[in-house]
Amino acid sequence: MLLLGASGAGKSTLLHGMAGLLGGADEGDTRGELLIDGVPAAGLRGRAGLLLQDPDAQIVLARVGDDVAFGPENLGIPRAEIWPLVVEALDAVGLELSLDHSTSQLSGGQKQRLALAGILAMRPGLVLLDEPTANLDPDGVREVVAAVERMLSRTGATLVVVEHRVSTWLPIISRVVVLEAGGGVLADGDPDTVLTARADALSEAGVWVPGRLPQFAPLAPSRPYEVLRGTDLSVGRGATVIQSGLELTLPRGAALCVTGPNGAGKSTLALSLGGLTSPLRGAVEVSRDLAVRGERRPSRWRSRDLITRIGSVFQDPEHQFVAPTVRAELAVGPTAMGVAPADVDARIEPLLDSLRLRGVERANPFTLSGGEKRRLSVATAIASAPSILVLDEPTFGQDARTWAELVILLQDLQRSGTAFVAVTHDQDFVDAVATHRLELALDRAGVGS
């Protein structure tokens, strides 16, 4: 079953309920009955396996093999049976790493595959996948879908998958359920019936309907003035070089999209371009008018200097939340800059509306849906009005409507002179906004090129 719905409609919450993770007094009101094999889901363990939106939230051990073995061990599976399951699960998701490989050295996409392997190793009867391919490259997407299909044919398990991009899962699903944003079910039936007969209603609700992609074209950069340059860059993890000899320029008002397979160093490059880490070799420099006391290398600036010039959005939005409410989170940057309270509100108000955060402005950021968290992380960077934005997977978790609204917002910023770098696997987004492109590659040995 493919579970669809607008961002914030409750798809992830429903999966959590099926996995038995809801029911506490602090988790809202629950009505009705949710049974697995005739037993309340909250009282059943090991029958359902849930892959969370954030793979970091379920990677618990330091080595790849141990992490995949964690679930079977907790289910009491004999040791002699566990390690064949581990090897089989890692092979199924295409994670070709040694069992001793450090989990802290994995890219975001590799972590996603590892988390899925941990689910598959438990051989659950109900497999719940929450945006399992969102941060994977195209080859990774195909590998994960193929792995899930093999698992289903081998075990006969039931699959419920949440994914905004419908076409990814159409070949293997038999049913589509669409949740309504205000509660209830908007549509339920076989894929052809739901996606064809209800196409207009689904599009209106923000659901991605195959063949109905919002149409945009990249802006022509009208300002050739260069605001950021990378010269002979080498980036990597620790002392290990992933990419070397990189050359790039970012003109004012431009959109540079960085693409490539998982593990190619895209997010690491983004951290260097954002001034949050230093490259292993080479230099990242801004234009003279953005320099701080003559220093043009962002990695040598203070955090207060960075926030007014380069705004960064991490691949994992939770890594940058520091305030108790959405509104307070949006105020962090402007307040740190010394902006007057009335002017802070003037910056926040339009962002709440344009990124559909108005209804959750008093909520804790960590309680938002995945798509809402992503939009909040983008909004917090924009609120400081930097000249440059560095965005890592900015369209993660977005429905068709919020995706289009995010593109419109970014292009409006471009027109005002803001330049941005976007690390992304979303080819539709690249086609919609990219004025410049940088594709990173890996050779067969997994070395950047």
Q: Name the nearest CA neighbour of 367 among 27, 17, 3.
A: 27
Residues of the chain with pLDDT under 70: 23-29, 108, 221-223, 443-449
Same domain, 240 and 198: no
Boundary (domain end) residue, out of 149, 174, 204: 204
How many domains are contained in the chain?
Answer: 2
pTM to 2 decimal places: 0.84
181 within domain boundaries: yes
Residues 198 and 234 in one domain: no
Residue 217 lies in a domain: no
Note whether 345 and 410 are same-domain residues.
yes
Regarding whether 118 and 51 lie in a shared domain, the answer is yes
Does 151 map to a domain? Answer: yes
Answer yes or no: do 171 and 255 share one domain.
no
Do 195 and 239 reside in the same domain of the chain?
no
> Cβ distance 273 to 421 under 8 Å?
yes
Clarify whether residues 160 and 243 are in a common domain: no
> Going by DSSP bridges, is the β-strand pair 255-259/419-423 parallel, antiparallel, or unpaired?
parallel
| CATH number of the domain that residue 147 is part of | 3.40.50.300
Q: Which domain holds residue 233?
A: 226-439
Let me know whether 27 and 68 are in one domain.
yes
Tokens read off for 117? 């392997």
- 8 lies in a domain? yes
pLDDT of residue 28: 62
In a domain, 104, yes or no: yes
Residue 448 lies in a domain: no
Residue 355 CA to residue 229 CA, distance in Å, equals 30
For 64, the 3-state DSSP assignment is helix
Looking at the fold, whether 181 and 231 belong to one and the same domain comes out as no
Residue 107 placed within a domain: yes
Separation between Cα atoms, residue 27 and residue 223, nearest integer Å? 50
Cα(301)–Cα(165) distance, integer angstroms: 40
Res 325: pLDDT: 97
168 occurs within a structural domain: yes
pLDDT for 274 equals 96
- The β-bridge partners of 129 are 51, 161
The 3-state DSSP composition of the chain as helix, strand, coil percent (nearest 5) reads: 40, 20, 40
Asked if 46 and 189 sit in the same domain, the reply is: yes
Which of 141, 174, 204 finishes a domain? 204
Indicate if 171 and 231 belong to the same structural domain: no
Out of 172, 204, 236, a domain closes at 204
Residues 150, 100 share a domain: yes
Across 206-218, b (16+ Cβ under 10 Å) vs e yields bbbbeeeeeebeb
pLDDT in the model for residue 8: 83
pLDDT digits (tens, 9 = 90+) for 253-283: 999 999 998 889 999 999 999 999 999 999 9
